[in-house]
Amino acid sequence: MAEKVKLTSIAELGEFGLIDHINEKVKIKHKETIKGIGDDAAVLQFDKQQTVITTDLLVEGIHFDLMYTPLRHLGYKAIAVNVSDVVAMNATPKQVTVSLAMSGKFSVQAVDQIYEGIHAACEEYGVDLIGGDTTSSVTGLMISVTAIGTADPKKIVYRSGARENDIICVSGDLGSAYVGLQLMEREKEVFKANPNVQPQFQGKEYLLSRILKPTARLDVIKKLAENGVQPTAMMDISDGLSSELIHICRQSDTGCRIYDDKIPFRQDTVTAADEMNIEPLMAALNGGEDYELVFTISPDDYEKIKDQEGISFIGHMTNKSKGMYLTPQHGEEIQLKAQGWTAYKSE
């Protein structure tokens, strides 16, 4: 009788472990493939320009809840989060493809609403919708977007370029998307208990916009270029600041120190977080979906952008031996851990 093979659950590996597992058997065959799996986007070389390509899949019940996500916003977000990956490579987004899988519960009018958002985002970021696919789904809705961009080979920024003493920067503010999500989840539960109760969203519009209609920070890389600053490493913050910094450190073979009093928060984020007993710092480190940029710069470039509005300097890269830590104003240092959203959880 054949010995029973012990199967490994995907949850044991987790999302990033699964990606590493898949990548182990991937062999690059073409000289045009400059960068494959392992960054915000793949990089291909054609003529004098490099092309970056990224894809993302949004699944109903996993990435979005249609009970509180308008279809138009969903279409916009599907484009924005992919454009954000192109931007994180310091590239200019040019084209997108969109594929939909839909169950029979969706009408043509519902599809129109999704594409209203898609067209609005394409207009906002100056990208062309050039194709895709549609198919049926047993249950629910799935949206897959592929985004394509271009860049001068000397301008591409990978996760692996950070060096010891580089300064860690973030754009915008952090934690607001997670707080906005928790706000909607709270009001969803109230509505389920009593459909006659109106949601309490007054004064929380910014928080809702951050989770429902995120912004790809194309403006930030344009500002950096205008000031003559080339990031040494960069990622967009989709899974939480901790997770992204760990990626940068591991691929750059460095450590890092960030400081809690340097992490940027909006006051309405802090106020709403306090109302729901959420620690704003944890929302920033582990919440995700902010789609801001975390990047490193040479200390020589600090003077060029030290007064640039919307960019915060939150720490520095260290020798790998010093590890990856958050330094609070009071108390002991806290080791950074990737505790943000994960696609695969143990049942």
Average pLDDT, the chain: 89
* CATH architecture label of 159-335: Alpha-Beta Complex (3.90)
CA neighbor of 55 nearest in space, from 94, 101, 20, 97: 97
The reported pTM is 0.87
Strand partners of residue 52:
43, 149
Please give the structure tokens belonging to residue 233: 């490493």
Provide the token pair at 270.
């802090």
Distance CA 235, CA 245 (A): 8
Could you tell me the pLDDT band of residue 347, with boundaries at 50, 70 and 90? very low
Whether domain 32-151 has CATH 3.30.1330.10: yes
Predicted local distance difference test score (pLDDT) of residue 196: 87
* pLDDT tens-place string over residues 273-302: 999 999 999 999 999 999 999 999 999 999
Alpha-carbon span 275 to 179, nearest angstrom: 10
Helices (H), the chain: 10-23, 71-87, 108-125, 176-193, 205-212, 218-226, 241-252, 267-275, 280-282, 302-305
pLDDT at 143 over 50: yes
Kindly state the tokens that stand for 118: 């898609």
Residue 63 tokens read as: 């990435």
The pLDDT of residue 187 is: 92
**Of 258, 262, 263, residue with least CA distance to 317:** 258
pLDDT at 144 over 80: yes
> From CA 182, how far away is CA 273, in angstroms rounded?
9
- The more confident residue out of 47 and 107 is 107
Alpha helices in 158-285 (DSSP H): 176-193, 205-212, 218-226, 241-252, 267-275, 280-282
What was the pLDDT predicted at 346? 46
Sign of CA dihedral 318, 40, 84, 155: positive
pLDDT tens for each residue of 149-174: 999 999 999 999 999 999 999 999 99
More confident residue, 93 or 1: 93
Q: What letter does residue 234 receive in the DSSP assignment?
A: E
Which pLDDT score is estimated for 149?
A: 95
pLDDT in the model for residue 114:
95
Does residue 341 carry a pLDDT above 50?
A: no
Query: What confidence tens digit (pLDDT) does each residue in 195-228 have?
Result: 888 888 888 999 999 999 999 999 999 999 999 9
Q: Which residue, among 174, 313, 159, has the nearest Cα to 246 in the 3D structure?
A: 159
pLDDT band for position 74 (50/70/90)? very high
**262 Cβ contact list (under 8 Å, min separation 6):** 312, 313, 314, 315
Distance CA 323, CA 63 (A): 32
pLDDT at residue 43 in the model: 74
More confident residue, 95 or 29: 95
Residue 161, pLDDT score: 97
All structural domains of the chain with their residue ranges: 32-151, 159-335
DSSP 300-328: GGHHHHTT-TTEEEEEEEE-GGG-EEEE-
